[in-house]
Structure 1
Amino acid sequence: MRIRIGSSLLLAVLVLISTSWIGCDSSVADDPPADDLPVTLSGVVRDQDTNSPLSDITVELNSAQTKTTDQAGRFEFRDVPLGANALRVSETGFDDYTRQINVSAGDNSHDVSLLRITLYEFDEAGDFYELYLPAGGSTYRGVIFLGEPSTQDTRGFASGIPRTNAAPGLNEFVAAERQRSLQLAETYGLALMGAEVTRSTVFLVRALEHFAEESGHPELAKAPVLAMGFSFGGCLAYEFTLDHPDRVIGFMTAKGSCHDLGDAGLARRVPGYLFIGGEDAPNRALNITDVFEENRPQGALWSLVIEQGTGHIPVDDQTLLFNWMDAVLEARLPETPPPGEPVVLRAIDEATGWLGNRSSFEIADYAGYDADRLQASWLPSMQTAQDWQAFASSVAGD
């Protein structure tokens, strides 16, 4: 007897059989777990002002991997670690871009907008200045100025562009100073300024007045200055301090021979750091030592240190320099500058500082120092005193 099966019933049976067969087929793989997915990070680098893609830009991930953007501004990293990753983009003419990117399994996207450096130029009678204003500042509380050695050029401190025909090691020194100073600029709301062929502090003042008008930031005309320099640049930093002690946050001078030996007056109340090269020309060492020993006994808030084994080259202990600058800025700048008014710097009480013995390299706070305080190096904090001690004693071979 033939049994007839309706077409609807037959179709249902076939569907059930095929479904069961597919479910049992081990050759069909499940979706991979999320943790096993390839991890990528990609994006496009653009000019923030024009929104145009930027090609041939170096993108760095975790200081370990680098990629170069293509014609469409695109980059891609593969096999990226899960979690926080440091992305950095650095290109001449643009502000450095750094971000912490939280990466998950699979494809991750992060576009980058680079902001062109806000750079202003000034020249008068053969003196040239450049000023860099970090992005996002509504009011700038001061200026970090790096003076140039004779016949040299520190405008790269503002622009980030190395100078041609620089003395050996100068571009590297300027770049290192700029990197550290950018951190301080962001923290304290500061501008950066460099120069070439600066012959007088008169031109420095005129440059600031020009930048105030050109940039639309009138506060720059009377902005306080953290002045530092090597060789002739250090003499200029000291001269500016003598001429304008009320607007100098602090000064650093290294290995120059042209410091004014006259009465420092109110400049003694400005924190200062003076450096001598142990193998430098004797006249430079004598000039700086005379300046210190003439004024420290009268309460100058200054420190002196000899860098043994070095000649006429810049000081490259960036940690020591950065910590001192940071301490002085924190101590001197007011919390909130009055809108539209010049910044009035805070005075420092000598007794709040630390002292360093220039013979034994021992340090102590002011109250606990048991040798002649007026012959000791004065430092603004315990950290800067420890830095001074480590620097002075290590270069002396102790």
Structure 2
Amino acid sequence: MKLLLRSLVLSALCAITVHAEYAPMPPAAPPYYRVRYEASQAPDGLIFPVSYTVWIPPGVKTLRGIIVHQHGCGEGSCKSGITAAFDLQWQALARKHECALLGPAYEQPEKAICSMWCDPRNGSEQAFLHALSDLGAQSHHPELATVPWALWGHSGGANWVGNMLVMHPDRIAAAWLRSGTPRISPRDGSPATPAEIPAAACAVPTICNLGTREGVTVKDPRFGGLWPNVEKFFTDFRGKGGLVGVAVDPNTSHDCGNSRYLAIPWFDACLTARLPDRAGDGKLKPMPTDGAWLAPLLGDAAQPAAKFTGDAKAAVWLPNERVAKAWAEYEKDGNVSDSTPPPAPTEVKLTGNELTWSAQADLESGIAGFVIERDGKELARLPEKPPTRLIGRAIFQTNGYSDSPAFPLAEMRFTDSSSASGEKHTYSVIAINSVGLTSAPAKTSP
């Protein structure tokens, strides 16, 4: 009976047409690289096509790790994975730690069964490992196949991250699960069951992140049942000594909101502590626990672990004071403060009346936009129009539901249509981060 059911499930899934052009993709010229695999016909293969796009920080000779930004279920979320590797703020994190930034995009049709990719046992594990090897060869960074992973996932992507944590704890530096938990989903269509947490996973710093309307304080009609699953996963994991915390966004349901402003400093702390000193090495360092902070579950105030008087095995675990303070801010209003200005733009060039430039994002607060000055006076601001639908803070790349930039990608380009032919001007570009702080101006050459 199980074999018949499995055959029917796979036949139905394979009958769904998946076109080669699933969605438009940004070009993948260096420092970007891409591989794409068609759906597998093997009994244990991935039944959906998938593409993997990786960004390699320019100038890095040997990588120290890979940051994976894994989208969720449904056609819209899957398409958001196409731009994940182009996200400027996540690139800032990757650049700091000499890591690659990888964005998978599973080509799952809207009505197909998500677990056929978000449980890695159903073929996405082997596709992911294959991609690391192929991308390593393509980019001349063969260490992509062996360096550690930092895994971020949303919804079904959190299921994928949690399952990879269960399956490969020795390879994972840190794991962030937004709105999902690890569940085993058999290919034969049997009901999903919670994944058993191995002892080795307890050494991996992990965060369960969800919106308050996912059953914490409000039961959203669609996602309100998530909190019981997260609570059980956290309780079991923490009870075994796992280095796991919970962060509740007070403003959202299933969308990612402003979670990146906590996730990125949290990953920053974990990667600083755990990545090997020698680039290319695959052996992670143990996560230090002497500077950890603890907080009551669903609380908003943390203390140094040595001063915590509650049950430590039921408390939210946070890696250090800096992250604990950011976590407390996030718990209260969904924001994280920042007092540091963004880096100044670079490569400001004028060709005719068209101005172009490059910019690296502020690690803590990203890029909200740019001020264009002409002869020392403000001429324009980019973006010129605010997005019609806002997820989290307004940023230059227009963050989406699944924490990825909108397509087509925003360009660092401005045309001065008010400049008359033959006029000579000096232009400056100023970056603004998402808390409103500005960079030093970067000028065109005289």
Please give the range of the TM-score, normalised by the shorter of the 2 chains: 0.5 to 0.7
Q: Do the aligned partners of 1:355 and 1:365 also contact (CA within 8 Å) in 2?
A: yes
TM-score by length of 1: 0.62
Range with bigger deviation, 133-142 or 120-129: 120-129
Q: 1:218 to 1:360 in 2, by over 3 A?
A: closer
- Residue 282 of structure 1 aligns to a residue in which SS? coil
Deviations 1:70-128 (A, max 9, x none): xxxxxxxxxxxxxxxxxxxxxx759xxxxxxxxxxxxxxxxxxxx95332323242122
Q: Do the aligned partners of 1:274 and 1:302 also contact (CA within 8 Å) in 2?
A: yes
Structure 1: where are the runs of 5+ without partners? 1-91, 95-114, 161-177
Deviations 1:341-361 (A, max 9, x none): 632110014343111222442
Structure with max Cα Rg: 1
Structure 2: where are the runs of 5+ without partners? 1-25, 40-48, 107-116, 184-193, 215-222, 336-446
Deviations 1:215-252 (A, max 9, x none): 22221111211100110111111111111111111010
1:142 aligns with 2:65: yes
- Residue 327 of structure 1 aligns to a residue in which SS? helix
1:191 aligns with 2:130: no
- Residue 52 of structure 2 aligns to a residue in which SS? strand
AA in 2 matched with 1:342 = D
1:120 aligns with 2:53: no
Q: Do the aligned partners of 1:120 and 1:132 also contact (CA within 8 Å) in 2?
A: no
Q: Do the aligned partners of 1:270 and 1:300 also contact (CA within 8 Å) in 2?
A: yes
RCO comparison, higher one (Cα < 8 Å, 6+): 2
* Distance of 1:190 and 1:213 partners within structure 2: 16
* Distance of 1:325 and 1:376 partners within structure 2: 20
- Cα shift at 1:380: 0.8
1:155 aligns with 2:82: yes
Write out aligned runs for 1:228-377 (5 A): 228-256=152-180, 259=183, 260-280=194-214, 281-337=223-279, 342-377=281-316
* Distance of 2:201 and 2:51 partners within structure 1: 26
Deviations 1:317-362 (A, max 9, x none): 432122101101101012223xxx6321100143431112224422
- Residue 312 of structure 1 aligns to a residue in which SS? coil
* Distance of 2:334 and 2:143 partners within structure 1: 41
Q: Do the aligned partners of 1:299 and 1:350 also contact (CA within 8 Å) in 2?
A: no
* Distance of 1:359 and 1:196 partners within structure 2: 33
Give the structure 1 partner of residue 353 of structure 2. Answer: none
Q: Do the aligned partners of 1:277 and 1:285 also contact (CA within 8 Å) in 2?
A: no
RMSD over aligned CA atoms reads 2.2
- Cα shift at 1:157: 1.4
Name whichever structure is richer in helix by fraction: 1
- Cα shift at 1:182: 1.3
Among candidates 219, 235, 244, match of residue 143 of structure 2: 219
Q: 1:263 to 1:393 in 2, by over 3 A?
A: same
Deviations 1:255-298 (A, max 9, x none): 12654442343111101110122212233212111111111011
1:394 aligns with 2:333: yes
4+ runs deviating over 4 angstroms? none
Give the structure 2 partner of residue 180 of structure 1. Answer: 89
* Distance of 2:208 and 2:33 partners within structure 1: 30
Give the structure 2 partner of residue 382 of structure 1. Answer: 321
AA in 1 matched with 2:84 = F
- Residue 137 of structure 1 aligns to a residue in which SS? coil
- Cα shift at 1:188: 1.2
Residue correspondences, number: 264
AA in 1 matched with 2:276 = P
- Identity over aligned pairs, percent: 24
* Distance of 2:159 and 2:213 partners within structure 1: 19
Q: Do the aligned partners of 1:121 and 1:131 also contact (CA within 8 Å) in 2?
A: no
